[in-house]
Amino acid sequence: MTGLAAAAILVPALAWAQGAGHGHVHSGNEVKIGRHEVELVVRGGQATLSIVDEKEQPVDAAAFGATAIVLARGNERRTLEFRPAGGNRLAAPVDFQVDGKFRATVTLRGPGGELGTGRFNIDPVR
């Protein structure tokens, strides 16, 4: 695997449930993907993506999906499939360990197809 491929690898994260309106709290786990701001948080065995628009308004995630390529323990690549989880959230189970930070590349899909990719390098929530 090349250094670029390794750097592009994603590890999942569970996003905090967000309230409606401008109650969005920035955690440092946000990445711009297309016209959307996407937050990735990992807690326990769950990864969650929260999606807001350019005005920081929650986006109904019912018609969205995402795939994440994650660098797991021992440099093993894993793929996560995110599904709608209510409101502006997508979720995926995480059944593997990672070394240190979560390194992940997320591809976000909307009703019209692929919207873009974003790279995350975050600390998991314990």
Give the pLDDT score at 27. Answer: 52
Give mean pLDDT, residues 85-103.
Answer: 93
pTM for the predicted model, two decimal places = 0.77
Give mean pLDDT, residues 62-84.
Answer: 96
Domains of the chain: 3-18+26-122 (2.60.40.10)
DSSP calls for the chain: --HHHHHT-B---PPPP--STT-----S-EEEETTEEEEEEEETTEEEEEEE-TTS-B--GGG-EEEEEEEEGGGEEEEEEEEE-STTEEEEE--S--SSSEEEEEEEEETTEEEEEEEEEEPPB-
Give the pLDDT score at 78. Answer: 96
pLDDT in tens, 2-35: 433 333 332 332 232 333 333 444 455 899 999 9
Give mean pLDDT, residues 85-96.
Answer: 96
